[in-house]
Chain A
Amino acid sequence: MTWTWFHRLGSPPYIYGLAARLTPWFAWTAAALIVGGLYGGLVLAPPDYQQGDDFRIMYVHVPTAWMSLMVYTTMAVSAAVGLIWRIKVSHAVAASCAPIGASFTFVALVTGSLWGYRMWGTYWEWDPRLTSELILLFLYLGYMGLRSAIDDTQRADRVSAVLAVVGVINVPIIHFSVLWWNSLHQAPSVMQLAKPTMPASMLIPLLMMFLGFTIMFGALLLVRLRAEILNRERTANWIREAVAS
């Protein structure tokens, strides 16, 4: 009995229905959190004593950078699950992740570059974190390119899954690069859960943005997942009712 919920997760019609029901909840919660975080970050939080108002870029740069890593990890994990246990829905999840992850990696790079200009005096530096984040963008693009180059869906799923898993080594490199090497990028100040070095008025909007972006990713993923499932389950009977509206 305890495993039926797990098996249901692998059933496309069940996931389709679940995704349809969950999406509005995810979407509106994310919207509320992001709007609240934006207000807190842009209006309520006082200017930083060192960076002035420039630090407010943090409220978009840090969440999008977090997303670039989180989405890739989700993609790699679901690709691995699909590869090992041959679960089609898992591959559909991985496929849905890639475009979302790629676009937010791009935003992370650009916003980071704009934020960095004031602090470092340059738009770009080939330091470990920036370089490996750029490599992450290329990995996303390569994943999407590989998928589209292979016609057979099942083979495309499995080949690109190998790429996703191989590339996941980049994620800890990006995360720990500021600790391992002398990097231009600043050391983590939020992840120290013991005592974050940021005042609450600055920290709370950031956490709201973190949560809001994560839940937004969930909403986007659910929508794309439904499209993916429809494309894959071409002739299944349950589709008739699902698209009837």
Chain B
Amino acid sequence: MSSTGTSALEAARLTLARDIRLALRKRGQLIQPLAFFAIVTTLFPLGISPELSRLRDVAPGVLWVAALLSSLLALEFLFRDDAQDGTLEQHVLSGQSLTWLLFAKTVAHWLLTGLPLAVMAPLAGLSLGVPVASLGGIVASVAVGSVALSLIGSIGAALTLGVKRSGALLSLLTLPLSMPVLIFGARATELAIRGAGFAPPLYLLGALAVLGITLAPLAAAAAVRISLE
């Protein structure tokens, strides 16, 4: 199979398809972050109060902190398998644009974890007493915000490639950079719950996502190259 004629875009598309195919074979691994999300959002009513009216007030924060932690959990799977079996090294050596390849991996990761999270979020929201009318806004904000989270997380994951038991360090690196996403996402969710226009924070989330798309794969590629040197 000749790869000299393969463009970066083509290689990226192939990587995307491969990652999705491989991940779907390990469905148990995919469920974990979603189960974590469900459990965490259940803990809050148990810890705070069963009254929906009170939960509704904290729902934005609860949803977003849970989403943030779940995406952090999911980050472990982004590069780990490929780093362990040498595929990542092959990517680096292949002469293909590592930036595009990592972008493709992150997109695959988002499709497998962020998007399902956006689908689950309304269910979690309902359990926290949010009005049905706000569900569209919740899905939109989590969908866009999780894009930014996946990209920011890819930087942290790339930086900690060579580190054993990197969980805590990965959190320390990723969570601070994710705070703007949390702030705007919770704000958008809160406005949606109140029935107000949530476009401004949603646009800001979109801006963060775009910023992530343009910059994160570059930083991640630099970090991966250095980690594998």
Interface residues of A (CB under 8 A from B): 126, 131, 134-135, 138-139, 141-142, 145-146, 149-150, 155, 158-159, 162-163, 165-167
Q: Does B97 contact A (CB under 8 A)?
A: no
Q: Are B173 and A163 in contact (CB under 8 A)?
A: yes
- Decide: A142 and B172 in contact? CB cutoff 8 A: yes
B177–A135 CB distance below 8 A: yes
Q: Is A138 a contact of B169 with CB atoms below 8 Å?
A: no
| Identity of the chain A residue whose Cβ is nearest the Cβ of B164 in the assembled complex | A149
| A158–B226 CB distance below 8 A | yes
**Dominant secondary structure of chain A at its interface with chain B:** helix
**Measured between alpha carbons, how far is A208 from B158 in the docked complex, in Å?**
43
B58 close to chain A: CB less than 8 A? no
A149 touches B176 (CB 8 A): no
| Nearest A residue (CB) for B178 | A135
> Do the beta carbons of A155 and B160 come within 8 Å of each other?
no
| Contact across chains for A142 and B226 when beta carbons are under 8 A apart | no
B219 at the interface (CB under 8 A from A): yes
Let me know if A141 and B226 touch, CB within 8 A. Answer: no
Within 8 A of A (CB), among B167-198: 169, 172-173, 175-177, 179, 183
B222 touches A162 (CB 8 A): yes
The answer on a CB contact under 8 Å between B229 and A146 is no
| Residues of A close to B176: CB separation below 8 A | 134-135, 138-139, 142
Q: Is the CB of A131 within 8 A of B179?
A: yes
B172–A162 touching, CB < 8 Å? no
Query: With A135-B179, A141-B172, A142-B172 given, is the CB distance from A155 to B155 under 8 Å?
Result: no
Sampled A-B contacts (19; CB under 8 Å): A126-B183, A131-B179, A138-B175, A138-B176, A141-B172, A145-B172, A145-B173, A146-B159, A149-B169, A150-B163, A158-B229, A159-B223, A162-B159, A162-B219, A162-B222, A163-B159, A165-B219, A166-B215, A166-B219
